[in-house]
Structures are given as C-alpha cells and as structure tokens.
Amino acid sequence: MVFECVNTKKNKSEKWQGRITSFKNYGTHYEFRIESRSGILVLFGKTTQGAFACMPDFGAGCHLVNLRDQFWNSEQLCRVLGKVDGITVATALNAMAEKMGY
C-alpha cells in the first residue's frame, strides 16, 4: 500500500511517499513495516484507554486516538519520533485504519 505524507508549514508544503511493505494481524495487535525516508517497524494495538503505537527500533511509543484523527496522532508521534517519521507513521495508520477495523 502506498500513501502520501504532507508536512505543511505556513506557506509551504513538503510531500513524500510512504509504502507499507508488510502487515501482520496477531489477533491482539498488528505489526507492519513502513518504507519511506526511513524504515519503521510499527506495533499497533488497543488498550482500555484507546490505542497505542510502538516503534521498537526507535525506542519510542505513545497513546493514540481514532486512527482517522491524523492531526492528534501526528502531534503525539512527532514528539517521540521527530517531525518526518511522526507524520509518516500517523499517515500510515490513517491509511490502514479500515484494514485494522477502525
């Protein structure tokens, strides 16, 4: 699956493509790999307080809300991953929302 990421700053937009190269449903959580400006392994699941995403290769994780709320999720993910990777993961989660039942 290919998706387009956008970072908008005032009057400028920066765009790049991401691609989900693998996807696995473990029943209790999901695992997928994103290839973009960097390669990112994402573990995604639900808790009683919403959802979470962990990126073990980055030593990072955070709570998320509805996967279609890209603004909130981007803010949370950018705090733990940096701007480009945070936007990339949030966009990928939005693109995968239907496949993961959200």
pLDDT given for residue 95 in this prediction = 93
Distance between first and last Cα of the chain: 17
Number of structural domains (the chain) is: 1
* Residue 4 in this model has a pLDDT that exceeds 90: yes
* Residue 102 in this model has a pLDDT that exceeds 90: no
**87 domain-assigned:** yes
Q: Which token pair is 39?
A: 């390669």
Give residue-wise pLDDT tens across range 76-100.
999 999 999 999 999 999 999 887 7
Give SS3 for 82. coil
Question: Can you tell me the distance from the alpha carbon of 92 to that of 13, in angstroms, rounded to the nearest whole number?
Answer: 18
pLDDT given for residue 31 in this prediction = 96
User: What letter does residue 76 receive in the DSSP assignment?
Assistant: H
Q: CA 89 → CA 11, 19, 26, 45, 101, distances in Å?
A: 23, 10, 19, 14, 17
pLDDT given for residue 5 in this prediction = 95
pLDDT given for residue 67 in this prediction = 87
Question: Can you tell me the distance from the alpha carbon of 50 to that of 33, in angstroms, rounded to the nearest whole number?
Answer: 22
**40 domain-assigned:** yes
**78 domain-assigned:** yes
Q: Domain span at residue 82?
A: 2-96
Give residue-wise pLDDT tens across range 22-72.
999 999 999 999 999 999 999 999 888 889 999 999 999 999 988 889 999
